[in-house]
Amino acid sequence: MDYTEDLERLKINDLNLLAACPASVGPGSNLAAPQLDRWIAVHDAIAEWYASDQPDEHAVPAIADRVLGRMDPVQRQIAETLFANYRMLMPKSRDEAVDLDPPWSTVYDTASNSSISVATQFGLRTPDEVTLIKLKTGRSRVSDDEKAVLIEGAADPAARFLEVLVADGTVDELELPHEERGAIIDRLFAIPDRNRTLERRGTRPGLHCFRCSRPAECGQYPRLDGEQVIRTERTVIMTKKWLAKLNLCERQAAWARLYGIPHDDVESDDESWGAAAGSTFHQAAAAALLPVRAHPRRDAHGDRSRVRRCRDDPVSAHLRRRQSQRLRRISSGAASRWADFAKNPYPKRGIGR
């Protein structure tokens, strides 16, 4: 490959942001990234599990303590479940050599002397095939842009790529027709050039701001007191929905936006009831947990009457029952998954489950 030391390394997220908003280039602020923190913890636990030659009954508890032990109990439970899901979806095989740092896929554009790379997290090699794994711990899937670079720029053209979604418990093979891959890569490499010739610069806010690290820097979202946001200041991106919920319970908003606690899966026709019940629970919890501190956003009834009203509320009572049932279900579900796993720790691996 003909490239020089001045090769410009481009990132897919940065390119797509640049296409949407020219002001997205530049240093960002210190944004809370709970999903990324969790991804790193689960990745490290899996890497240690692959590196260990101890039986799982010894290795797994030690790894969980070492890698996930610093987390708070709720985060640790989520991360341990994701770690367990990975082991069930991708059981170790004695025939596979594991690469904990597989080569990145990279595509080059010699005209602009730039490249775009995408990483995979684990490589599994047998005498017959090489499998490269993209670990996903949230709900987002590998995008077509990433697929195009992964497949087109693979160091081993015969390698196959798997997306392992540990939250959903599914494994999918990553595929994209050759023509689509070429068109996507051409579009990505053309973005910086198109941006250079733009007549109108400045911010262009939109939904893409959720993927940008500069909302506190670009001037589009100024502080209400007019002060500047210091780059090291910790910032959190809120939605209008969560701003409204701050009036009910700061903890609920913090769970979602600061700690990234996943939402429960609910049936679609139960969604609005579930959301209302969740808000009522948090309203009750906030009033009960913060009974004395004066709070400017609380209503005219005051804290005590609010607690009483929430306790008497049938929705609140129903919710408390649901919370207990849910906790029982989580522990019995985990126990039965482990029982299945113990009976058959090396099931035949399938794709697209």
Residues that bind ligand SF4 (CB under 6 A): 17, 21, 23-24, 203-205, 208-209, 212, 214-215, 218, 220
**CA-wise closest residue to 310 among 327, 339, 288:** 288
Nearer to ligand SF4, 201 or 349 (CB): 201
What's the min distance (Å) between Cβ of 214 and ligand SF4? 4
Q: Which residues lie closer than 8 Å to 347 by C-beta, 6 or more apart?
A: 91
Least distance (Å) from ligand SF4 to the CB of residue 205?
A: 4
For ligand SF4, the closer CB: 215 or 260: 215
Instruction: Please identify, using beta-carbon distances, which residue of 136 and 214 lies nearer to ligand SF4.
Output: 214
Listed in sequence order, the residues at least 6 apart from 193 whose beta carbon sits closer than 8 Å to its beta carbon are: 112
> Which is closer to ligand SF4, CB of 21 or CB of 150?
21
Using alpha carbons only, what angle is made at residue 179 by residues 177 and 181, rounded to the nearest 5 degrees?
70
Residue closer to ligand SF4 (CB basis): 92 or 204 = 204
Buried b (16+ CB within 10 A) or exposed e, 118-145: bebbbbbbeeeebbbbbbbbbeebbeeb
Calculate the CA 271 to chain-centre distance: 22
The answer to whether residues 139 and 167 touch, using CB atoms and an 8 Å cutoff, is yes
Identify whether the C-beta of residue 46 lies closer than 8 Å to the C-beta of residue 98.
no
Give the residue with the Cβ less far from ligand SF4, 221 or 341. Answer: 221
* Nearest-approach distance from CB 215 to ligand SF4, in angstroms: 4
Closest approach, Cβ 229 to ligand SF4, in A, equals 12
Q: Taking every pair of C-alpha atoms in the chain, what is the biggest distance, in angstroms?
A: 73
- Residue 235 C-beta: closest distance to ligand SF4, Å: 11
What is the distance between the alpha carbons of residues 14 and 209, in angstroms, rounded to a whole number?
Answer: 12
CB 208, min distance to ligand SF4, A? 5
